[in-house]
């Protein structure tokens, strides 16, 4: 009799733990439904799931048209719709002490397909006041901060039913340790729209020779691809995937898909 009661108690405890765990997981996922226009001016809806435990964003247009982005650590600002057609998500990413990193993703819908039309680092800031060198710290010689930030302006329609996206690009570095690095710049970027690939870009780049994409080597014969060139970063769109430049002819996938 005592053994049966013990089994019942264990079963009940396991059920309660499973129930509580499922509730915690459910509460950690914030769901949003966004209505906007497709590029063909038709109203469409996407469902966005913000997973605060799994560190991912899932953007669902239909079961076969889903984008899942890893590395999500919370929204940096409210989800926006610009030009009535582009959903903008700016989110936080994991970073070290004294460092802030933000990414911005734009999505759109065209002819029943979901597109990641832009995916770039939109903020990178840091502040370091100490080093691992006790003598340097004691003399108060090391104090450096820096910020890089992109702020977007609404796209404008052109006569050819394309879009122009503008953004301000700001960078400031202040270093007590190395004053030669000090500078502050502000300029305007212009992104054109590639209507075939449904992505924004700053220029086209011809690839020729050997390149490595996500660890795989490929050979190109001068084919042109849209790129986004920023002060410190470069992004390339090829075969429906955004890549960031790691070093010469070597690119890593941007915002890799969820496992």
Q: At residue 130, does pLDDT exceed 80? A: no
Which pLDDT score is estimated for 140? 55
Please choose, from the candidates 220, 192, 195, the residue with its C-alpha nearest in 3D space to the C-alpha of residue 206.
Answer: 220
Q: What percent of the chain has pLDDT over 90?
A: 63
Q: What does the pLDDT look like over 119-128, one tens digit per residue? A: 999 999 988 7
Largest CA distance in the chain: 83
User: Of the candidates 206, 122, 134, 205, which has an alpha carbon nearest to the alpha carbon of residue 168?
Assistant: 122
Q: How far apart are CA 191 and CA 41, in angstroms?
A: 21
Express each pLDDT in 7-23 by its tens digit.
Answer: 544 454 454 444 444 44
Token output for 207: 């690839």
Mean pLDDT score of the chain, rounded to an integer? 84
Task: Name the residue with tokens 């903008």.
Answer: 88
Of 173 and 141, the one with more pLDDT: 173
DSSP character for 230? -
Q: 171-207, pLDDT tens digit by residue?
A: 999 987 788 889 999 999 999 999 999 999 999 999 9
């Amino acid at each position: 009799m005592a053994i049966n009661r013990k089994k019942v108690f264990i079963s009940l405890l396991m059920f309660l733990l499973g129930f509580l765990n499922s509730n915690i997981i459910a509460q950690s996922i914030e769901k949003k439904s966004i209505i906007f226009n497709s590029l063909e001016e038709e109203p469409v809806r996407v469902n966005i799931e913000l997973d605060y435990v799994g560190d991912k964003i899932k953007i669902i247009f239909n079961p076969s048209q889903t984008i899942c982005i890893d590395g999500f650590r919370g929204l940096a600002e409210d989800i926006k719709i610009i030009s009535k057609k582009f959903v903008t998500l700016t989110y936080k990413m994991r970073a070290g002490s004294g460092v802030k990193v933000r990414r911005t993703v734009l999505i759109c819908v065209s002819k029943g397909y979901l597109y990641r039309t832009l995916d770039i680092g939109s903020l990178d800031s840091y502040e370091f006041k100490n080093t691992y060198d006790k003598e340097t710290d004691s003399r108060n010689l090391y104090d450096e901060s820096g910020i890089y930030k992109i702020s977007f302006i609404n796209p404008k329609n052109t006569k050819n039913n394309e879009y122009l996206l503008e953004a301000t690009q700001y960078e400031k570095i202040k270093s007590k340790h190395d004053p030669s690095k000090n500078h502050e710049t502000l300029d305007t970027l212009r992104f054109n729209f590639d209507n075939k690939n449904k992505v924004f870009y700053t220029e086209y780049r011809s690839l020729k020779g050997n390149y490595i994409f996500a660890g795989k080597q490929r050979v190109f014969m001068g084919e042109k691809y849209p790129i986004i060139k920023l002060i410190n970063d470069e992004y390339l769109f090829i075969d429906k995937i955004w890549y960031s430049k790691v070093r010469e002819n070597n690119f890593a996938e941007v915002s890799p898909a969820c496992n």
